[in-house]
C-alpha cells in the first residue's frame, strides 16, 4: 500500500512540457516536431504501432537521448541542460531492462536508492516500503537471478520508483506478466496516482491501460495523432447499438442517407436487424441520431449507447490516421 506517502511536488499544472521535439537516428526521423504537455497527477497511456517512436520519446523525456531539435521540460527542469537534476525527478523503466543477477532484492533496491541520492538513514525504510508496494517483502533476501519473470519485472519497477520520483515513465511494464500480476500492477499505478505521482505508461495491452489511464497519447510514424483526456464521460465517442423491428434486414444505404445531415455521426456496421453507430461525445448527438432514425421511418425497438473503450478508440484513431496518411 502507498497510502502513507504523498509526493510534495511543485504546483504548476503541467509536469511535462514538450515543444517541437524532433529526434533522428541515422537515416530515421523517429520523432517529428512533437509538442504536448502532460498534466500533473495524470496517468498517460502512450500507444502506437511498433516503430511509432514511443520508446524514443520516453528516452528523450528521461534525458537518455539528445534531441535533434526542440525543448523538453520536466517539473520545471530543462532536460537538455540539466539531465542529472532531471534524473532525480524521474523514475524510468526501459522496455529492455537489466538487473544485477547476483544481488538479492534488498541489495538491488538499496543500490537503486543510493544511486538516486537517498540519504543513508532513509534507505532501509525506502527499501522496505518499496518491497511492500511491489509485493516483494517476502523476497527481500532472494537472489534476483532466481526470481520469476513477473517478480523480476516488479523489482525493476521498484528500482525505478524507490526515490519517489515526481514522474514515473514505464516502457512496456506489463510485458511477460500473468493476468493476476497485471491486475496488481494496475492497482499499484492507481495507488501511485492517488498519492500524487504522474505516470506515463507505454503498452500494447489497451484493456489494461483502460483500467487506470486518465489521458491518451497516440503516436504514429513519429507524429502525434491524438492527445486527450479520458477521465470525463464527455471525452469519448459513444457506440450506439440500434435494433430495428422490420421484416427485412436493415439496409445500410438507407440508414447512411438518414444520418448524412448529422455532423460526425458514423455508421460503423449493419447486420440483420441491427446497426452500430459511432457518435461524437456532444450531449445532443445521441438525441439527433434517434430523431433522424425515427423521423426517417425506421421502427427502432432498442437504442443502447455504450461508451467506447480504449481499444475501440485506438483502432478508430489509427484507421482514420492511416486513411489520411494514404491520401497524402
Give the binding site for ligand ATP (CB under 6 A).
Answer: 25-26, 28, 30, 48, 50-56, 95
> 90 with 165: CB under 8 angstroms?
yes
- Minimum CB distance to ligand ATP, residue 216 (Å): 15
- Minimum CB distance to ligand ATP, residue 23 (Å): 8
Residue closer to ligand ATP by CB (options 55, 133) is 55
Residue 236 CB neighbours (<10 A): 20
Q: Which residue from 45, 72, 57 is spatially nearest to 314, judged by alpha carbons?
A: 45
- Minimum CB distance to ligand ATP, residue 74 (Å): 19
Residue closer to ligand ATP by CB (options 50, 327) is 50
What phi-psi label fits residue 41: left (phi over 0), alpha (psi between -120 and 50 degrees) or beta? left
Distances (CA, A) of 239 to 10, 174, 200, 235, 245: 39, 29, 27, 13, 20
Q: Let me know the angle formed at the C-alpha of 113 by 112 and 117, rounded to the nearest 5 degrees.
A: 115
Residue closer to ligand ATP by CB (options 52, 177) is 52
- Minimum CB distance to ligand ATP, residue 213 (Å): 17
Residue closer to ligand ATP by CB (options 95, 211) is 95
- Minimum CB distance to ligand ATP, residue 217 (Å): 12
- Minimum CB distance to ligand ATP, residue 132 (Å): 31
Residue 311 CB neighbours (<10 A): 14
> 62 with 80: CB under 8 angstroms?
no
Residue closer to ligand ATP by CB (options 32, 129) is 32
Residue closer to ligand ATP by CB (options 44, 270) is 44
How far is the C-alpha of 241 from the C-alpha of 165, rounded, in Å? 44
How far is the C-alpha of 112 from the C-alpha of 127, rounded, in Å? 9
Residue closer to ligand ATP by CB (options 144, 202) is 202
- Minimum CB distance to ligand ATP, residue 35 (Å): 18
- 45 φ, ψ to 5°? -85, 115
Residue closer to ligand ATP by CB (options 28, 315) is 28
- Minimum CB distance to ligand ATP, residue 56 (Å): 3
For the packed helices 105-115 and 120-133, what is the interaxial angle rounded to 10 degrees?
130
Q: Reduced to 3 states, what is the DSSP secondary structure of residue 109?
A: helix
Q: What is the largest CA-CA distance in the chain?
A: 78
In a 13 Å sphere around the CA of 163, the CA atoms on its Cβ side amount to: 23
232: DSSP letter: S
Structural element, H or E, at residue 9: none
Amino acid at each position: 500500500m502507498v497510502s502513507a506517502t504523498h509526493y510534495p511536488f511543485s504546483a504548476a499544472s503541467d509536469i511535462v512540457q514538450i515543444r517541437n521535439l524532433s529526434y533522428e537516428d541515422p537515416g530515421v526521423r523517429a520523432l517529428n516536431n512533437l509538442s504536448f504537455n502532460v498534466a500533473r497527477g495524470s496517468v498517460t497511456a502512450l500507444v502506437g504501432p511498433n516503430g511509432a517512436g514511443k520508446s524514443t520519446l520516453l528516452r528523450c523525456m528521461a534525458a537518455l537521448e539528445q534531441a535533434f531539435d526542440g525543448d523538453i521540460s520536466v517539473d520545471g527542469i530543462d532536460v537538455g541542460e540539466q539531465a542529472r537534476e532531471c534524473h532525480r525527478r524521474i523514475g524510468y523503466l526501459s522496455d529492455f531492462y537489466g538487473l544485477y543477477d547476483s544481488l538479492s532484492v534488498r541489495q538491488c533496491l538499496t543500490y537503486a536508492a543510493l544511486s538516486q541520492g537517498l540519504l543513508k538513514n532513509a534507505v532501509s525504510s525506502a527499501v522496505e516500503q518499496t518491497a511492500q508496494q511491489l509485493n516483494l517483502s517476502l523476497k527481500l533476501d532472494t537472489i534476483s537471478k532466481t526470481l520469476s519473470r513477473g517478480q523480476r519485472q516488479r523489482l525493476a519497477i521498484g528500482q525505478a520508483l524507490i526515490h519517489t520520483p515526481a514522474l514515473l515513465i514505464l516502457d512496456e511494464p506489463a510485458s511477460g506478466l500473468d493476468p493476476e500480476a497485471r491486475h496488481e500492477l494496475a492497482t499499484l499505478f492507481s495507488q501511485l496516482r492517488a498519492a500524487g505521482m504522474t505516470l506515463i505508461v507505454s503498452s500494447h495491452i489497451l484493456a489494461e491501460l483502460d483500467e487506470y489511464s486518465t489521458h491518451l497519447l497516440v503516436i504514429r510514424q513519429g507524429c502525434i495523432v491524438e492527445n486527450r483526456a479520458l477521465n470525463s464521460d464527455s471525452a469519448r465517442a459513444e457506440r450506439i447499438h440500434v435494433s430495428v423491428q422490420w421484416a427485412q434486414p436493415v439496409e445500410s444505404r438507407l440508414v447512411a442517407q438518414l444520418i448524412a445531415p448529422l455532423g460526425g455521426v458514423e455508421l460503423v456496421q449493419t447486420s440483420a436487424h441491427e446497426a452500430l453507430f459511432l457518435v461524437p461525445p456532444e450531449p445532443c448527438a445521441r438525441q439527433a441520431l434517434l430523431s433522424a432514425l425515427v423521423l426517417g421511418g425506421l421502427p427502432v425497438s432498442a437504442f443502447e449507447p455504450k461508451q467506447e473503450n480504449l481499444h475501440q478508440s485506438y483502432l478508430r484513431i489509427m484507421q482514420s490516421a492511416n486513411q489520411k496518411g494514404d491520401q497524402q
